[in-house]
Structure 1
Amino acid sequence: MSALSDQLVTFAILAYLVAMISHAVEYALGNGRATRPRTVAAPARELATVGAGSGAGTGPSDVGPAVATGAAGDVRRDPGRLAGLIGVGLTALAALLHLGALVTRGVAADRMPWGNMYEYVLTVSFIGVAAWLAVLAKRPALRHLGLFLTLVMVLLLAFAEMVLYVEITPLIPALNSYWFVIHVSTVVFSSGIFLLGFVPAVMYLMRNGYESGRRGFPYDLARRVPKAATLERLTFGLHAFAFPVFTFAVIAGAIWAEAAWGRPWGWDPKETWSFISWVIYAGYLHARATPSVKRNVAVWIAVLGFATMLMNLFGVNIFFEGLHSYGGLD
């Protein structure tokens, strides 16, 4: 089962990569909408002389619409749109492979697959892509964001497989508790939604600059994504959904710490960075609700919040020693 999990991760990375390429093709070819034959009005002078010198009447019913059209209902398929739909299908396939890797890893370990950084990154990234597919099912017009979402998936999974991978080991005694499922599951879920929210946040900043007249890298990358206002609303909705779950996760962690170590809070590095992340995300939601704060300023706060989440995941486990150092890396 462990070997099968490793193989499924590799296949998932390849599927995400091909999905990213498909989305890139759509992005390069156009806006992904079906194109209809253009209707061209005849010049006014020709309209005035239609039927002259013949026995035909010259009333409106006789002249008819002076247009040049193709066959009725003839719609040319946009190859860009087709590539985008293929990208969505491949993303769904990659998500299934991704899920299979997690399930087989959990079966092999005989526990939930959240015991080290490798497993944690696999789970958070799966939550992110699953949430993306749910959003896409409701809002198909957001499909262009798939290019950037699949890019993030490829980078995260490749990093996890090449840098964070460790063999399956039993849980350390401190983690062998029912609070492991309660606390870690809510942290994982909220982190996955924050990961998804990070993508439209970054694209909003780029698109907002593009709509403001800025050109060149990176603003030109956002010329085909949805409008800035749409991206900003999506960013807010995802963060507003994830924040209460993350709040519960922090509280559950404090309760677990009281049971395991005899104190609810000890300013352990991971506890400290979790608190920093919580404060920044709370600041984002407060800024978003304050009319005097510009939307791009608020979104920058959300981006900063995700940077602290990355620091909590990678920096704390790699560079700091503490009670939460469960990364599994040597």
Structure 2
Amino acid sequence: MTKSPSHPYPVFARFTDVALRDGLQMETQFVPTRTKLEVANALIAAGVKHLEVTSFVSPRAVPQMRDAAELVESIDRSTGVHLSVLAPNQKGVERALEARVDTIVMFVSASESHNSKNVNRSIADSTRGIKEAAGLAKSSAAQLQGAIAVAFGCPFEGDIEPSQLIPIVDAYLQAGFTGITLGDTTGMATPLNVERTVTALLKRFDDIPLTLHFHNTRGMALANVLRSLQLGVTSFESSLGGIGGCPFAPGATGNVSTEDAVHMLEHMGITTGVDLPRLLDAARLLERVLGRPLPGQVIKSGDRLRRYDVVARSCKLIQQRS
């Protein structure tokens, strides 16, 4: 991480868009593969270089992901896009490796209750299974990313202490995972417990690559992104239009909107490498695909300076005519 001497934030931040996986998994109507590909191409055209595109999970559990292999194969990798996928078990990892994805994401919950609801296993059983599945990827070029669901709060058990995360992170690192994602699965994070958790983990695991995944269930997502930046975190997961949620967690609404987060950071002087007007075009495309207004805010009002310029020009024309 690099900070400017006069700037309390990193100079660059990276966003992995998860709309095609986390965003669409809650949709009851199947989105055709060619349509998902259109959305992926629109994100890539906007400069989003990291996409979590699907999940290699049982189609019975998540019907929306039944075209996982076909979608991965359809995306033009010559653009330099980095594709990650979720794989909940050994079979999922095998399928992901066959698809030659760049990163395989595996997950375990920070609370026993959510882990049981999510995968019908204890945390100990899940971490053992992850170690076994991770062994399959060691001879491949795929990176391994370890995700922890409900890392800041569980809808069944309440607050999650940082000490609960340490053995899970340990298990991931021992299994060869190179990065950790902390998921705010039901939007229970606040800037204060983000600070406590991130500080504790960075103290315990020096220089661990952390990615943060915030949901906007209670309108706290951008505030949490801001506090994370102040703590030196530069990698985030977000969702085009702010769509998404966990089907196994009560009240889990959408993720932080990619375009809202990019808009905030770019206007703070933090480079994201993303073209906001093109990103808004991608969000409007997704809105048409889903046939309803999306939760993101910037899609409704536009870039703050562009909108101001339009109003200023209109006022100038009125003055000239009068």
More strand by percentage: 2
Q: TM-score, normalised by structure 1?
A: 0.24
Q: TM-score, normalised by structure 2?
A: 0.25
Which structure has the bigger radius of gyration? 1
More helix by percentage: 1
